[in-house]
Structure 1
């Protein structure tokens, strides 16, 4: 734990204008307020805020932020009010402490609605003052470093999951790679220790095999640059286990196929030297096609700037390189924290220097989240869209007038339209990409010129949600749908209730629905019928409340109608524009969709109804020129929450004793239920095995596949289609 004088010395070392008296007062106040409180580790509680403040001094934050770190828990854990903080330390620090406290309350809540509401308030707070986020990230980082002292495994898992879902992406969104990376590694260690240990063993073996080669390659690169007159600092770095795990998931490849476990960083003096160094490297060794990225001329949304290239280097090694200046390197590691500096006799955030260096607004990602919040929606939608905005990588496209628009990788035309303006998205009816009309499901690529074709009035079909990947677009579509579909669901619910009542020999007009309105806490009959239309309330529930004395014959008659209406099970799990009355629905066996897959419907020529396929099903190529058969579909919340689906993984495994048992154990530990397995293509050293597994959704299946790939005895794992 930092002593009082040590903390003040660290702050004054980078900020000569620091208010030492204020820092001293805050240090003593935190110790006095937390008093005899203890942490789960047995340490005095006041050691925690002091360590949080110490973490922030490594990022050279201003005095107000350091004081906020010292006081960030006093409102929540001590008999202290915001007014007390304002009187003792000023309005600025009081607002910062309150902003951090709002998110601390989020951690204490297990209820999704309260969690989302606190996240909403917190995002608004950090969009106004990013120092709130810096304090909270440092707070979470220290908590994660001591997470093993929490006795409850369930609580450890909840905190680690929250770290991975919310805090690490927030750190990445403002460019704080160093904090993000450590949070991810600490969370990974608690959430999936088996996979982490497996990857760790593979890395250790790789270090033994290639450690010397990495040093030689660094020397070779440095020598080439020195001969060309480009002064540079060159060093190799090893990919973190969690980054490897994510790549195993995303790319569906085995560990042995990863080419960037070791990468080399080239640090030069100026931006011009970056391009000179790139030329030297490309002349010395052949570059790998389509592996060059220029993030200097087009920085990432979090202001990351660097040149990336991959070459076939010395001894035929495939080498990934990052070329950047010292300033770019600091921004890459510290993000928004790199812009605090002493200027004009004061110390604070220097946005001008950041802009002069060619960067963008480092808080742009947080402002995108604010736009998501403005569209409203329920707690589940908010959490989904916020995570979408924070997690996705990017692609660069252009408007017809040459304006650069940054979008997440995998984005489609509707994402582009809503990124330009909400009205453009609402009125979009088609798109031209590079001057050619294209389907709305087309994924955008770097350099595409996108022109939106607009209609005269907003028309947003519900199934368009499957044609977007950004939280901003999805939340805007849902907002529009909420405004336009309420009347339709109300009408549907009213008709369903009337039919159910009539089937039971009753009439809705003979009884008051007031008891049902009170029971389901709705504002009136229209909202009650809307709940029925959306499936939140069943007609039989209303029947029981309105006529509690129904005999068995009447109940059976009403239930029979319900079985007829709800008998087509697939309709409980899939919705979309193609699901008109009378059209049957079935899941295609060629691709076996599971919840979480992006899906599409194909109207069958033989009149058998609508077949549901995954968007990447190979059979869809047969219908590419028959757009009239396509229907955009998506999963219902019921499918995403309460179902189990069957999928098949095909793995190539080493032919050795006990290996198949290891694979089965891995699947079980990952929560999969093996219902069948079949071995085939058995050879001397390898054999293939098909695992039929019950999984919750596509993400669950992807996690199981990645866990298998992390095992050294498993060569490849692919999802089987058909």
Structure 2
């Protein structure tokens, strides 16, 4: 029986390999097919005994990654070969030297880059961030490393079904935190949308299914609407002899959910569920004029919203994206986004960086994507902050939109959205930034913290006496400015840290305590510092009185008579649980373990029984329980995987948990009385607070109350939504930090 299965698998592997060759065929040159075959055979042999978590042969994965590289990103032979071999060095006896000998230096360099950034879920926070920094370093050498890594991540997300729930949450969170924005930045819009949708599917499965179902239900009506909407446009464009295609496509599930969440509205009230795209086939020199002519035709039929015109043809986005967007009012009273672009622009929008090369002339100026990659390189070269700090800085900096401003001589500068006059000064030159006193924007004097707007013309004022201060970090957003200011401050900090350490050592010697790793860590936690360096710096700066160590000594003696081991991560938690329960476990039972292990419910998301939750080991507040849908969950899981512990509720009806409800509706006399009657009398629920705000006959109320679990809360929400005048009842999170 097993022989038949293996035979079927062999046929399936060959079928997938032939499908890959078929899509690659149009651009294969002389020896390419042989090279791909050789890479396929090498990978097949290397992985022959290996299977994926789903039970499938491992070779399915490199084949799928190669397929994505060609079909969805538009990469060539070198990338196909690299994708087929991307796990070989890590998983088998083969070395980089073997790859170099058999497939050449280009492929070897890419594989080397991919091997360095594998194993993202290794134990430890900075390990994850360090991997990300390594990945970006490969951008300087060959952007294909990151493109293949994105293809690898996309296939892993598509096959996440077979992974454990814990891994699903970790991988999904890291995807939304780093890979989706990176795909967006490299112009891979369809991949970015799919990664976001898959993230939602595995973290908020019920919401994902509901929206997908509603999109299915409204499909026929949507198609009819699109047909009616584009009919007059098609006729007019044909009359004007345009060669064009019009497509209508629904917004991604993730972007619909985002809109529902931000605007606090149900699916039915999301009006711009789809976009219409008009794609023109025209010569390069006529592109701009043709797009504006089509815009004119569209706005002849439908009234545009003047605030929603986006011209990315005159000034393309930093990732090379070019398109003209407008939002117009349909005859049925619905807003519709219309995107106007050419075939060249459309291919760049779909395939991003890879397509950009196809259209680049040898003498062409440096493209926006290349400018961005150059900025990444500069940032990596200048930066010597901690890996985690670097990742946060990178995300805020290079995944944001841009602002376009001008120097006094009219030279265009592109800065991150939210950039200030000080960012502009550092962008001109480090010395100008360091001595910047203020600026003139459009001939008017402004402070350093002035936030730049599109079209501003800026002149920088300097003084040789001016020096960077810590305060500057509060209002600069560009990585160049941040890293240069930090560089200035770092030297000063080094001196103060050394002085602080000396003071602590002296004090501990008086108290007959050794300054070792354990003592340092305990001191750090006691003084609420994230790192030992921060502790010594605060002592050196005078923020922490060295005499406070006397109190620390007394507390340490008390503790040593009490608990045995401080919980600092998932591993020490498992040790502690074993001591408490006498069995191996990596699961925290909320309710049962309360008296034996310190944990609290996070205020940022107020979890209640029935919610999908996880535990997070904080630095000095014990374990915090968060909902998996908590606003802070993505960052915690993707950056601090080693501190995440599994947690589940045990049935405890007698305990009440705090939850928040947002209620909207039309105001009337006696409404509050009716609400409180249901809450207090009918369902015997205790309220902590109720605030109601009325404006022009519409009211919005926030109620904090105590419930037993999610079922209890659902019953309450159903009852409240039936009260006359109530339009919407939703649960809300109190948005404080973790």
TM-score by length of 1: 0.70
Question: Displacement, 1:274?
Answer: 0.8
- Residues 187 and 320, structure 2, Cα contact 8 Å, conserved in 1: yes
Output the CA distance in 2 between the equivalents of 1:289 and 1:204: 32
Contact 1:678 1:690 in 2 (8 A): yes
Written as runs of structure 1 = structure 2, the 5 A alignment for 1:224-243 is 224-243=236-255
Deviations 1:451-497 (A, max 9, x none): 33223255222122221334443333333322333434555676788
> Does residue 178 of the first structure (1) align with residue 190 of the second (2)?
yes
Q: 1:366 aligns with which of 365, 373, 389?
A: 373
2:296 aligned partner: 279
Alignment of 1:392-411 (within 5 A): 392-411=400-419
CA RMSD of aligned residues (A): 4.4
Q: Name the CA shift for 1:75/1:361 in 2 (closer, same or farther; >3 Å).
A: same
The separation in 1 between residues aligned to 2:59 and 2:81, in whole angstroms, is 13
* Structure 1 partner of 2:631: none
Relative to structure 1, is the Cα distance of residues 403 and 551 closer, same or farther in structure 2, using a 3 angstrom cutoff? closer
Give 3-state SS (helix, strand or coil) of 1:98's partner: helix
Match of 2:314 in 1: 297
More deviation, 18-27/223-232: 223-232
Q: Report the secondary structure of 2:197's partner residue.
A: helix
Q: Structure 1 residue aligned with 2:452, among 421, 437, 444?
A: 444
Superposed, which structure 2 residues align to 1:415-434 within 5 Å? 415-434=423-442
Task: Find the counterpart in structure 1 of residue 134 from structure 2.
Answer: 121
Look up the match of 2:344.
327
Match of 1:27 among 40, 57, 64: 40
How far apart are the structure 2 equivalents of 1:104 and 1:411? Answer: 34
User: Displacement of 1:428 after TM fit?
Assistant: 2.4
Q: Which runs of 5+ in 1 are unaligned?
A: 342-349, 553-593, 596-636, 665-673, 695-710
| Alignment-derived partner of residue 140 in structure 1 | 153
- By how many angstroms is 1:66 displaced? 0.7
CA distance in 1, matches of 2:450, 2:140: 33
The alpha carbon displacement at 1:307 in A equals: 0.9
Most deviating of 192-201 and 113-122: 192-201
Match of 1:154 in 2: 166
The CA deviation at 1:90 is 1.9
The answer (yes or no) to whether the contact 2:402–2:416 under 8 Å persists in 1 is yes
Aligned positions, number: 582
Equivalent residue for 1:460, pick from 459, 464, 468: 468
* Distance of 2:429 and 2:661 partners within structure 1: 42
Does residue 1:49 correspond to 2:66, yes or no? no
Aligned residue for 2:304, secondary structure, equals: coil
Q: Is the 8 A contact 2:243 2:281 kept in 1?
A: yes
State the partner residue of 1:412.
420
How far apart are the structure 2 equivalents of 1:720 and 1:141? 31
Distance 1:391 1:174 in 2: 10
Give, in whole Å, the separation in 1 of the partners of 2:396 and 2:557: 51
Instruction: Give 1:49 shift.
Output: 0.6
Asked whether the equivalents of residues 253 and 716 of structure 1 are also in contact (C-alpha less than 8 Å), the reply is no
Distance 2:431 2:265 in 1: 41
Q: CA deviation at 1:242?
A: 1.2
Tell me how far apart the structure 1 counterparts of residues 127 and 111 of structure 2 sit (CA, whole Å): 20
Q: Does 1:79 align with 2:93?
A: yes
Q: Is the 8 A contact 1:74 1:80 kept in 2?
A: yes
Q: Which residue of 2 aligns with 1:219?
A: 231
- Counterpart of 2:591 in structure 1 is none
Q: CA deviation at 1:116?
A: 2.1
Paired with 1:327 and 1:495, the residues of 2 have a C-alpha distance of 65
How many Å apart are 1:60 and its aligned residue?
3.5
Q: Residue deviations 1:603-642, cap 9 Å, x none?
A: xxxxxxxxxxxxxxxxxxxxxxxxxxxxxxxxxx9xx999
Shift of 1:300: 0.3
| Cα deviation code 1:128-187 (max 9, x no counterpart) | 20111121111111111100101x211111111111111111111111112212111111
CA separation of 1:307 and 1:551: change in aligned 2, threshold 3 A: closer
- d(CA) in 2 for partners of 1:536, 1:148: 50
Does structure 1 residue 478 correspond to structure 2 residue 492?
Answer: no
Q: How does 1:456-535 map to 2 (within 5 A)?
A: 456=464, 459-488=467-496, 515-516=515-516, 520=520, 529-530=536-537, 532-533=539-540
Where 2:50 maps in the other structure, the secondary structure is coil
Query: What is the alpha-carbon distance in structure 1 between the residues aligned to residue 280 and residue 422 of structure 2?
Result: 40
Q: Deviations over 1:549-599 (max 9, x none)?
A: 9999xxxxxxxxxxxxxxxxxxxxxxxxxxxxxxxxxxxxxxxxx99xxxx
Q: Match for residue 352 of structure 1?
A: 361
Given the superposition, is the C-alpha separation of residues 532 and 720 from structure 1 closer, same or farther in structure 2, using an over 3 Å criterion?
A: closer
Matched, 1:13 2:26: yes
**1:527 Cα offset (Å):** 9.9
TM-score, L = length of structure 2: 0.69
Alignment of 1:500-649 (within 5 A): 515-516=515-516, 520=520, 529-530=536-537, 532-533=539-540, 539=546
Distance 2:518 2:352 in 1: 52
Tell me, which stretches of 5 or more residues in structure 2 are unaligned? 1-12, 524-531, 559-602, 605-635, 644-657, 680-685, 707-725
Does the 8 Å CA contact 1:23/1:67 hold for their aligned counterparts? Answer: yes
Question: 2:690 aligned to 672, 678, 688, which one?
Answer: 678
Report the 3-state secondary structure (helix = DSSP H, G, I; strand = E; otherwise coil) of the residue aligned with 1:230. Answer: coil
- Quick check: 1:652 aligned with 2:664? yes
Deviations 1:291-328 (A, max 9, x none): 21211110000000011112224344322211110000
- C-alpha displacement at 1:275, in angstroms? 1.6
Query: Is the CA contact 1:651–1:718 (under 8 Å) kept in the aligned structure 2?
Result: no
Distance in 1 (alpha carbons) for counterparts of 2:305 and 2:414:
25
The residue that corresponds to 1:267 in the other structure is 279
Structure-2 separation of matches of 1:649 and 1:391: 34
The SS at the match of 1:298 is: coil
Q: Is the 8 A contact 2:503 2:546 kept in 1?
A: no
CA distance 1:305–1:17, change in 2 (3 Å): farther
Q: What's the counterpart of residue 393 of structure 2?
A: 385
Task: Say whether residues 1:96 and 2:113 are aligned partners.
Answer: no
1:193 equivalent to 2:205? Answer yes
Rate the CA distance shift 1:197–1:461 in 2: closer, same or farther, 3 A.
farther
2:20–2:67 contact (8 Å) kept in structure 1: yes
Check conservation: 1:60, 1:340, Cα contact below 8 A: no
Q: Residue in 1 aligned with 2:701?
A: 689
Shift in CA distance, 458/379, structure 1 to aligned 2, threshold 3 Å: farther
Cα gap change, 1:493 to 1:95, in 2 (>3 Å): closer
Q: Indicate the larger mover: 250-259 or 195-204.
A: 250-259
2:124 matches 1:111: yes
> What whole-Å deviation, never above 9, does each CA across 1:666-699 have from its counterpart, x for those lacking one?
xxxxxxxx9844264699x9853214599xxxxx
SS in 2 for 1:216: helix
Q: Distance in 1 between matches of 2:242 and 2:269?
A: 33
Displacement of 1:441 after TM fit? 3.9
| Structure 1 residues 477 and 361: CA distance shift in structure 2, 3 A | same
Q: Please state how far the C-alpha of 1:290 moved relative to its aligned partner.
A: 2.3
| Greater displacement, 448-457 / 326-335 | 448-457
Distance 1:538 1:155 in 2: 44
Per-residue deviation at 1:377?
0.5
Per-residue deviation at 1:39? 0.3
